[in-house]
Chains A and B, each alone.
Chain A
Amino acid sequence: MPTDNATRPRVGLFATCLMNLFRPNVGFAAARLLEDAGCSVEVPQAQTCCGQPGYNSGDFEAARALARQLIEVFEGYDYVVGPSGSCMATLRHDYPKLLADDPAWRARAEALAAKSHELLSFLTDVRGVRSVPTRYAGTVTYHDSCSSMRGLGVEAQPRLLLGSVAGLSLAEMADREVCCGFGGSFCVKYPAISGRLAGDKTAAVAASGADTLLGGDLGCLLHLAGKLRRDGQPVKIFHTAEVLAGMADGPGIGGEA
């Protein structure tokens, strides 16, 4: 990997709302992984939300306003990378659609979309990372978030990197292509349905025999951690980046079981 600052790509790290508020450790893990992959990482302080809550609630005008704001903040970087399939799918897929009718902004949205990446797929597909020099003692199961798996095709990448972690064994859960029931504001608009789907997913987690649940989207993970803790299931929960960066030594998401 190049070490000369001049040749390092400048990566603007997108601090997703949930990461910024609930789990800064994921942000630092992402920064470490990016730096180890030869990137220079910056975190613009003017960033806020990508606008997805507005987009998915039908408030396209609000989503457009935040899309324009985020483009202005991040378009100067070589890449925009975030530890979330959901937010990064918004940048990659939704911004060009949202701003399609605005000739000036459409090109900027497309340019940003082309250099925006979910963290793990960026590491493997853009930076060519094949392994991480890390150890984690445990059996983990990996939750594919719908936005990562179906939205961005992120499925093999986390498994490739997790496979290189010493001491870690992967136990896949059943029905991994089924949604966990988080769904953004869906989880509070339809809590009973969301709770049922969470229960189905945590049952699959338990049946996998894993002691640790990993995933690439904090929305799903907070939702599933909340359900696992409510039900008293002794499973640790981390974002995949925390394990890959060797930063999963503290309490997991939702605290100790």
Chain B
Amino acid sequence: MQVNSPNFKAKAEAALTDPQLREALGKTRIMFVNKRAELAAALPEFEHLRDEARDRKNHILAHLDHYLERFDEAVTRAGGKVHWCADAAEARRVILDICRRVEAKSITKGKSMVSEEIGLNEALEAEGYRVLETDLGEYIIQLAHEPPSHIIAPAAHKTQEQVADLFHAAHGGPRKTTVAELVTEARLVLRDEYFRADVGITGGNFLVAETGSTVIVTNEGNGDLTQTLARVHIVTSGIERIVPTLEDVSLFLRILARSATGQETETYTTFSTGPRRPGDPDGPEEFHVVLVDNGRSGMLGGPFQDMLRCIRCGACMNHCPVYGAVGGHAYGWVYPGPMGAVLTPLFVGLDATRDLPNACTLNGRCQSVCPVRIPLPELLRELRHQQHQQGLRPPAERRALATWRFVAERPRLYQFANRVAARALKGLGGDAGRLRSLPFAEGWTAFRDLPAPEGLTFLELWQARHPGKR
């Protein structure tokens, strides 16, 4: 997928003045946040499960190679094949090769963020394949020719009215408006496509090392149809999604649905183990797992390893005030919100993503809801540190920081500068006690007044009132 992150600021500002986006984001946020809070409160061991999930992930990451090899062996035993792909290009090549070999024409897809990450749809369509997204949200944005704006609700930026317009334009017939009508229409359109598909591509929420199973969770059942009815099933997943045992899956499922959509469990949790066996009533003839590294192994053992615990629930973005204000497209790549602001610079480079770690108030709410307790604010701060060290911050900011440090390291100069500023700003504020505009401070005064100081600094007033005392 193309990287649009350098345009963060412009896109964010445009998003802020889009009333339909505001309506759509407001609804999504309230729904997800409130439901998560209710369910977290209803499960006494929820906080304990988060600790357990964090510790289990840390164990897995410490032995990632081991579990991935066990997984490969188990998939092979079950009659499937694992493809180890170092980067996006290799993953695309592997999938295109499979599609070519089985003479595919039509491809259905369940939701997979890794497939977005590797730019799979564009690659398949460029080769002439018909690709159809079967997740309702993905289907909506495919019709709109837009990238996803949320990792579990790809069309979170669309209002119901906008979806009604899209469906009307794509499907013809009378314009449907209610959720039930729209969902039914999408189901009817998609139903035949599942049977027509040669290849079904899904993501993998978990890869189980002991059984070679891949696991997806959905609310629509589209993933089941995608992987069961096509001749060939391809799973695209990141290497960090491995778990050792089925026991582990049950641990992560308990926190995933609650954190993601505020459900005790998603409607469908589907395990796939190898292709159709003799006597099976259905299932694919071939089963492939495309294991994507694409920068992940480089995060092991470094300051960003904690990010590999991510189970892609979306709670961080649901609770992020910045995401809630500007939506997912402003972030400019596959992964938005706090987890995206960490992953995008690591996957596509610090240079093209300078805004992402900085467009955050470090308020910590994402960390407070993360089911695997990723210290997202700390990781964002570390990215700022790396930007600073690599000279990627704007000259004005570097000068301001250097000046601030120079003054703050000299207590007398610091006090003097503050005394001057206190008097000057007090004077400019006048009787109103505030400034409506201030040269070189438009960043502040464009959207709010600047309260004026009292006129003398605390340190000088204290000294005057306590002569002789420190």
Contacts from A to B (Cβ < 8 Å): 15, 17, 19-28, 31, 42-49, 51, 53-60, 62, 65-66, 69, 146-147, 150-151, 177-179, 181-184, 186-198, 200, 222-223, 225-227, 229-230, 251, 253-256
Pick the contact of B381: A43, A55, A69 (CB < 8 A). Answer: A55
Question: In whole angstroms, what is the CA distance A202 to B466 when docked?
Answer: 39
Q: Give chain B interface residues in 397-427, CB to chain A under 8 Å.
A: 397, 401, 404-405, 407-411, 414-415, 418, 421-422
B360 within 8 A of A: yes
The 8 Å CB contact of A188, one of B383, B401, B408, B444, is: B444
* Of B9, B441, B457, the contact of A20 (CB 8 Å cutoff): B457
* B interface residues, tally (CB under 8 Å): 69
Task: Tell me if A22 and B451 are in contact (CB < 8 A).
Answer: yes
CB distance from A257 to the nearest CB of B (A): 10
B443 in the interface (beta carbon within 8 A): yes
Q: Is B6 among interface residues, defined by CB-CB distance under 8 A?
A: no
| Interface mask (B355-381 → A, CB under 8 Å = 1, otherwise 0) | 000111111110110000000000001
A199 nearest CB neighbor, chain B only? B447
The 7 A-B pairs of least Cβ separation, nearest first, read A255-B433, A183-B361, A195-B447, A226-B448, A188-B443, A58-B384, A58-B388
- Classify the interface of chain B: helix, strand, loop or mixed: helix
Asked whether, in the complex, the Cβ of A192 is within 8 Å of the Cβ of B13, the reply is: yes
Residue B187 lies at the interface, judged by CB distance under 8 Å to chain A: no
Kindly provide the distance from the CB of B357 to the nearest chain A CB, expressed in whole angstroms: 8
> A58 touching B386 by the CB < 8 A rule?
yes
Given contacts A150-B368, A188-B443, A196-B325, contact A48 B451 (CB under 8 A): no
Which positions in B face A, CB cutoff 8 Å?
9, 12-13, 16, 321-322, 325-326, 358-365, 367-368, 381, 383-389, 393, 397, 401, 404-405, 407-411, 414-415, 418, 421-422, 429, 432-434, 436, 441-444, 446-454, 456-459, 461-463, 466, 469-470
- Contact status B454-A181, CB under 8 Å: no
Q: Who on chain A is nearest to B419 by CB?
A: A21
Q: Name the B residues within 8 Å of A184 (CB-CB).
A: 361-362
- In the bound complex, CA of A155 to CA of B306 (Å): 28
Whether B397 lies near A57 (C-beta < 8 A) is yes
Contacts of B389 in A (CB 8 A): 58
In the complex the two chains form, what is the Cα distance from A187 to B442 in whole Å?
A: 11
Contact A66 B405 (CB under 8 A): yes
> How far apart sit A183 and B444, CA to CA, in the bound complex (Å)?
12
- Known contacts A27-B458, A183-B362, A197-B325: A254-B411 contact under CB 8 Å: no
A-B contact pairs, 17 of them (CB 8 A): A22-B451, A24-B462, A42-B469, A47-B459, A51-B408, A59-B385, A62-B404, A150-B365, A179-B365, A181-B361, A187-B444, A190-B12, A200-B325, A226-B450, A229-B448, A251-B433, A255-B434
Contacts known (A48-B414, A58-B386, A226-B444); A21 close to B421, Cβ less than 8 A: yes
**In the complex, are the beta carbons of B361 and A22 less than 8 A apart?**
no
* B414 close to A191 (CB less than 8 A): no
A150 CB contact (under 8 Å) in B363, B422, B434, B448: B363
